[in-house]
Structure 1
Amino acid sequence: MSFNLRLLLVLCLLSAPAHALVKKSSSGLCHDESSRYYATTQHFTAFNTLDDCLRSGGKLPKQAKSQSSSQVAGYTREKFGHGWQDVDRDGYDTRQEVLMSQNTGTLVFNSKGRVIHGKWISFYSGQVFTDASKLDIDHVVPLSWAWKHGADKWSQEKREQFANDERNLVAVEASINRSKGDKGLDEWLPPSNQQQYKARFMRILKLYGFS
């Protein structure tokens, strides 16, 4: 083997990641080692963590999005009501109410009265967003987590109140919200404002009488 060929092989080995903990496929899906597509994903960008991959604009595979909540016995989103409600009957559902109350800029509405632009500072990362479509409204204490920690014994009315309680809701980027899933404090913390997040999580537990 010539010297130039040996040098080329060494450079290739040095430039290749020793172990891709998370692979972002060419289609933008983030696969960690629990994904069934991890081994077969050959063309990818490597990330150290799933959060890093999601923050880069990646998405979870469909089966990963539903995996955690589907494993909670008896839980369905409908147990907490059918989506966001217009609690005070003013024409704005809970998503719109949160976007309006947590906005720090000038709100812009579309022809149907829905918020499309404003200024929001993510509680989870500190990043600023102006496009409402980039934001999820996250339950600080997740619904399926609540279900398996006592909400399964609540009345339907109390569960719907919990799902629409603005004290438990934050407007944050979709990527971080989806990396959180239904995890509790022992499994997940946001990149920023961790102490405030813990305090808010515990406040909600106290308000709703979780053990």
Structure 2
Amino acid sequence: MARRFALLAAIIAVAALSVSCSEAEIDDLLNEVLQEIENSNAGGKVPANAGKALKQLEVAPAGSMSGYDREAFPHWSDAQENGWRVSDSSCDARDAALIRDGKDVVVGEGCDVESGRWLDPYTTRTYTDPLDIDIDHLVPLANAYRSGASAWDEAERERYANDPDNLLSVEDNANQEKGDKGPEAWKPPNRAIWCSYAKDWISVKSDYALTINPQEKSALRQMLSTCKKN
């Protein structure tokens, strides 16, 4: 299997250097490699055909940020109304993310998260003070805006801003360093999660029919190439 991966990777490298090879042909070869990698995960179960999903995303230049306002994406809304599995109706999306992503989480009155342990996937450091934790939009709000969300109504923006699949508890400095950057400009320092990060990014962009720019697509290809057999 390893030899087959190496051969396919070599074919892609040669194809990429050939002026006679189209981008679609290179994509097909890359998807074959990614499919083999995914087929090797979890005893042959394919969790997601990320390569195919990436190929299907519309590629377009990043749109304008004119008119962007973070507050136009109502966030930290009611958790239960936005698909979070929490028993306390007073929890908002931030509370719910802290509860889901933490260990030994202590929750007080009004769904106030008082303490717990959070492993930041971006840096692999552990924190015990919830004030050290930001809730990161995996695909940032501003990135979504210039990828198609500028045309959404407020209800769709609120759904996006509170979607459990697009929120992750991370250390605040790491979140600020990431800002609104896509993977072409920022990747998690923890290379071990590049595979899952890329798959989740592609999933969010697919679910919301958001576009990707050419550099972003190239970066996602690179990150998917790190997927390994479990």
Give your verdict on TM over 0.5: yes
Q: Does 1:92 align with 2:85?
A: no
TM-score norm. by structure 1 comes to 0.62
Moved beyond 3 Å, runs of 4+: 110-113
Gaps of 5+ in 1: 1-70
Counterpart amino acid of 2:119? I
Matching residue of 2:55: none
Q: Within 5 A, what are the aligned runs for 1:123-142?
A: 123-142=121-140
The aligned residue for residue 52 of structure 1 is: none
- Show the counterpart of 1:209: 209
Counterparts of 1:1-211 in structure 2 under 5 Å?
72-81=65-74, 83-88=75-80, 90-103=89-102, 105-192=103-190, 193-211=193-211
Encode CA deviations 1:86-114: one digit per residue, 9 max, x unaligned: 142611000000011111x2122345431
Identity percentage over the alignment?
A: 35
One-letter amino acid of the structure 1 residue matched with residue 165 of structure 2: R
Partner of 1:24: none
> Could you tell me how far apart the structure 1 residues matched to 2:111 and 2:156 are?
29
**SS of alignment partner, residue 114 of structure 2:** strand
**Separation in structure 1 between the aligned mates of residue 109 and residue 163 of structure 2, nearest angstrom:** 27
Match of 2:96, SS state, is helix
Partners of 1:151 and 1:92 in 2: CA distance = 26
Which one has the largest radius of gyration?
1
Question: C-alpha separation between the residues in 1 aligned to 2:128 and 2:209?
Answer: 36
Structure with greater proportional helix content: 2
Q: Number of matched residues?
A: 139
1:79: how far off? 1.3
Partner of 1:50: none
Task: Give yes or no for contact 1:116–1:133 (8 Å, CA) kept in 2.
Answer: no
Q: Distance in 1 between matches of 2:79 and 2:197?
A: 25
TM-score of the aligned structures, taking structure 2 as reference length: 0.57
**1:80 touches 1:156 (CA, 8 Å); kept in 2?**
yes
Contact 2:116 2:130 in 1 (8 A): yes
* Structure ranking higher on relative contact order (CA contacts 8 Å, 6+ apart): 2
Q: Which structure's residues are more often strand, by fraction? A: 1
User: Where does structure 2 lack aligned partners over 5 or more consecutive residues?
Assistant: 1-63, 82-88, 212-230
Cα distance in 1 between the residues matched to 2:100 and 2:110: 19
Distance 1:87 1:113, change over 3 A: closer
